[in-house]
Amino acid sequence: MNKQYPLTNICTQVRRDILRMVHAVQSGHPGGSLGCTDFMVSLYFEILQADPKKFTIEGKNEDLFFLSNGHISPLWYSVLARKGYFDISELATFRKLNSRLQGHPTTAEHLPGIRVASGSLGQGLSVACGAALSKKLNQDKNLIYVLMGDGEIQEGQVWEAALFAAHNKIDNLIATIDLNGQQVDGTTHQVLSLGDIEAKWKSFGWEVMHMHGNNVTDTVNTLKSARKRTEKGKPIVILMRTEMGYGVDFMTGTHKWHGVPPNDSQLEIALAQLPVTLGDY
Amino acid sequence: MKYTFTEKKDTRSGFGAGLFELGKKNPNVVALTADLSGSLKMNEFAKAFPDRFFQMGIAEANMMGVAAGLAIGGKIPFTGTFANFSTGRVYDQIRQSIAYSQTNVKICASHAGLTLGEDGATHQMLEDLGMMKMLPNMTVISPCDYNETKAATLAIAEHKGPVYLRFGRPSWPVFTQADEPFIIGKAKRMTEGNDVTIIATGHLVWKSIEAAEILEERGISAEVINIHTIKPLDEEAILASVKKTGCVVTAEEHLRNGGLGDSVAQFLAQTYPAPIYFIAVNDTFGESGKPLELLTKYGLDTPNIVAAAESVIRRK
């Protein structure tokens, strides 16, 4: 485990960061950010082989992570800052003019940790496949990770990439899908049912795993187990059950907080449920 | 200078030859195609360098994303499909994962323009230059013959950043030299003249040279400028010529909206307003037919350029 702090403490602090960031500019996407916090903290603090101080776009001999559902940028920014990619004070600039922390992640502002823009959904898995092929061409044994939303896989490009990865045996790739069952206009079931997701990915030729995305023990263990299943001829997808808004009681179990920030009193109530651990930015 | 040609070759074969040469000299060059390796003349590369060749299937959106990912890993990806599938179909993928992200992807597009011929309007891409030049960070190149396309293919591998390279299907006169240097963003003056500047790109450079010869017989001295790089535009070369001639014809196998003519007009309007005549397709889709028949019907042939020059000179 992490040497300095238990992962749960980091998760709590990251959730505080997310809420304070979106509250400060009264915009952004807290729901999916809170839901994926345990996963991303586990990934960056326990799994990913990467040195935040030596960030390069190419990431030679390092693991690479791509965030395809770019709207949960507050989570990514907080985790990157807490991991040491840039100073935590910069979180205060989120979505403000002249900031490197754009509403959706971009390389245009040269923020360490980010390798491609995302926000327009459905593109990350393709980019991850390309990066994985580059690793193979370079005889680089490190891995590629990518996170997608469940609503996002309604995009056709995801399935083009799914076919491609299996056909080409891209087995240095671990994709995770955040199954919170919510999207902007309602539940995924109401908007456009995804059907039997496990059967779909299996039939495309992927190794399918499951994970409780709001339990750090399970996220760490599952990610470690996924890593052991790489290089066996199949790309890996982890179907991750999460609750949108997890960590704040009134934000949980609804799609209402997908892209809505809390007001002053809502922030106060939410932060009261998440005591300071590492110190606010 | 008189231009002659002894052979005709398709510009896409210039791309294929350039790509194969790149494969030999640069191990970082990789190529991707969406089920059109034969049409794009990528087979020689695919055969010689199978580990660096990716058959993507009919899945262009994924191809652009995979290319972006390969570029992140330090590779120089060349994507190959038809111009309509290289641009309109994947505009958002190019916009986000390539142009905005500044990934070092070379989008290579064949069968552009009307001269695709019999396949008709669905495949006759006439909007691609406009779409691609609108994207910040994108370099847009449209060479005029086999040799120039080959040279451009080699040159863009050395250029760091996203590039759109446009070429075509038909057999076309080869009138530039194989050893001519290709400098991105640097226009080539094909003929010297004082009465009118003809600014052309792609296949219509040859048509403009033909037009200049006819004009010369009529006592009109035309300066033909080959703009192989639509963006960044060689404003210096255009300005120098127009200051001398005082009027302009632009010629391209593209819609008038968004094409080379637009770029030239926009530049001149702000710096040196001059009478201008646009040889381009005017707000319509194409149709099936033979390449040269189509150029004639849509007003892009040599006589149209001659008439345009005579007309624009009268407006000086």
Q: Quick one: chain B helix, strand, coil %, rounded to 5?
A: 40, 20, 35
Residue B189's DSSP bridge partners are B225
Per cent of chain A over pLDDT 70 is 99
Lowest mean pLDDT: which of A4-8, A108-112, B157-161?
A: A4-8
Mean pLDDT calculated for residue range A150-172 = 98
pLDDT at res. A254: 85
* B75 vs A120, A128, A137: nearest CB: A137
CA B1 to chain A, closest CA, distance in angstroms equals: 46
Task: For residue B2, count CB atoms less than 10 angstroms from its CB and return exposed for 0-12, middle for 13-18, buried for 19 or more.
Answer: exposed
Mean pLDDT calculated for residue range A211-223 = 97
B38 Cβ contact partners less than 8 Å away, ≥ 6 residues apart: none
For residues A244 and A252, the answer to whether their CB atoms sit within 8 Å is yes
CA A52 to chain B, closest CA, distance in angstroms equals: 17
Mean pLDDT calculated for residue range B141-160 = 98
pLDDT at res. A151: 97
Q: Which residue has the tokens 């991105």?
A: B184
The backbone torsions φ and ψ at residue B259, rounded to the nearest 5 degrees and listed phi first, read: -90, -160
CB contact under 8 A, A161 and B100: no
Q: In this model, does residue A1 exceed pLDDT 70? A: no
CB contact under 8 A, A130 and B92: no
Mean pLDDT calculated for residue range B171-198 = 97
Q: Enter the tokens of residue A238.
A: 């982890």
pLDDT at res. A183: 93
Q: For the sheet containing B276-281, what is the strand order?
A: B188-189, B222-226, B196-200, B248-255, B276-281
* Distance of alpha carbon B61 from alpha carbon A161, whole angstroms: 9
Lowest mean pLDDT: which of A4-8, B170-174, B311-315?
A: A4-8
Tens digit of pLDDT for each residue in B9-51?
999 999 999 999 999 999 999 999 999 999 999 999 999 999 9
pLDDT at res. A3: 57
Instruction: Name chain A contacts of B54, Cβ cutoff 8 Å.
Output: 133, 168
Largest Cα span, chain B: 59
Residue A2 forms part of a structural domain: no
* Distance of alpha carbon B110 from alpha carbon B165, whole angstroms: 9
A43 Cβ contact partners less than 8 Å away, ≥ 6 residues apart: A65, A145, A219, A223
Task: Compute CA distances B254 → B166, B169, B174, whole Å.
Answer: 11, 15, 21
Residue A201 forms part of a structural domain: yes
User: Does domain B188-314 bear CATH number 3.10.180.10?
Assistant: no
CB contact under 8 A, B66 and A116: no
Residue A280 forms part of a structural domain: no
CA A148 to chain B, closest CA, distance in angstroms equals: 15
Residue B1's pLDDT band (cuts 50, 70, 90): low
Fold of B8-173: Rossmann fold (3.40.50)
Q: In this model, does residue B235 exceed pLDDT 80? A: yes
Instruction: Name chain B contacts of A120, Cβ cutoff 8 Å.
Output: 92, 95-96
Instruction: Name chain A contacts of B93, Cβ cutoff 8 Å.
Output: 123, 126, 157
CB contact under 8 A, A116 and B93: no
Domain ranges of chain B: 8-173, 188-314
CATH number of the domain that A218 lies in? 3.40.50.970
Residue A77 forms part of a structural domain: yes
Task: Compute CA distances A145 → A174, A235, B16, B194, B239, whole Å.
Answer: 5, 11, 34, 61, 51
* B96 vs A60, A119, A161: nearest CB: A119
Tens digit of pLDDT for each residue in B84-122?
999 999 999 999 999 999 999 999 999 999 999 999 999
**Helix axes B204-217 and B302-314, enclosed angle (nearest 10):** 60
Other C-beta atoms closer than 10 Å to the C-beta of B58 total 12
For residues A54 and A93, the answer to whether their CB atoms sit within 8 Å is no
For residues B89 and B60, the answer to whether their CB atoms sit within 8 Å is yes
Task: Provide the mean pLDDT of chain B.
Answer: 98
* B93 vs A60, A123, A134: nearest CB: A123
B102 interface with A at CB cutoff 8 Å: yes
B60 in catalytic set: yes
Residue A5's pLDDT band (cuts 50, 70, 90): confident
Tens digit of pLDDT for each residue in A108-157?
999 999 999 999 999 999 999 999 999 999 999 999 999 999 999 999 99
As a whole number of Å, the end-to-end CA separation of chain B is 26
Residue B233's pLDDT band (cuts 50, 70, 90): very high
Q: In this model, does residue A236 exceed pLDDT 90? A: yes
The yes-or-no answer to whether B8-173 and B188-314 have a common fold is yes
Q: Enter the tokens of residue A276.
A: 């300071």
* Distance of alpha carbon A30 from alpha carbon A51, whole angstroms: 27
Tens digit of pLDDT for each residue in B286-300?
999 999 999 999 999
Number of H helices, E strands in chain A: 10, 7
Residue A249 forms part of a structural domain: yes
Task: Compute CA distances B307 → B106, B220, B280, B298, whole Å.
Answer: 37, 12, 14, 14
Mean pLDDT calculated for residue range A67-82 = 98
Q: Domain of A97?
A: 7-272
Task: Compute CA distances B274 → B192, B219, B223, whole Å.
Answer: 19, 21, 15
The backbone torsions φ and ψ at residue B137, rounded to the nearest 5 degrees and listed phi first, read: 75, -5
Residue type for position B315:
R
Q: In this model, does residue A2 exceed pLDDT 60? A: no
**Catalytic-role residue among B60, B148, B252, B253:** B60
CB contact under 8 A, A134 and B61: no
* Distance of alpha carbon A219 from alpha carbon B265, whole angstroms: 59
Task: Provide the mean pLDDT of chain A.
Answer: 97
pLDDT at res. B142: 98
> Which among A115, A14, A135 is positioned nearest to A68, based on CA atoms?
A115
Residue B224's DSSP bridge partners are B198
Residue A177 forms part of a structural domain: yes
Q: Enter the tokens of residue B178.
A: 């194989």
Q: In this model, does residue B273 exceed pLDDT 80? A: yes
For residues B30 and B74, the answer to whether their CB atoms sit within 8 Å is no
Chain B residue closest in CA terms to A68: B97
> pTM higher than 0.95 for the full model?
yes
* Distance of alpha carbon B126 from alpha carbon B202, whole angstroms: 12
Q: Which residue has the tokens 């299943």?
A: A229
pLDDT at res. A48: 98
Domain count, chain A: 1
CB contact under 8 A, B54 and A168: yes
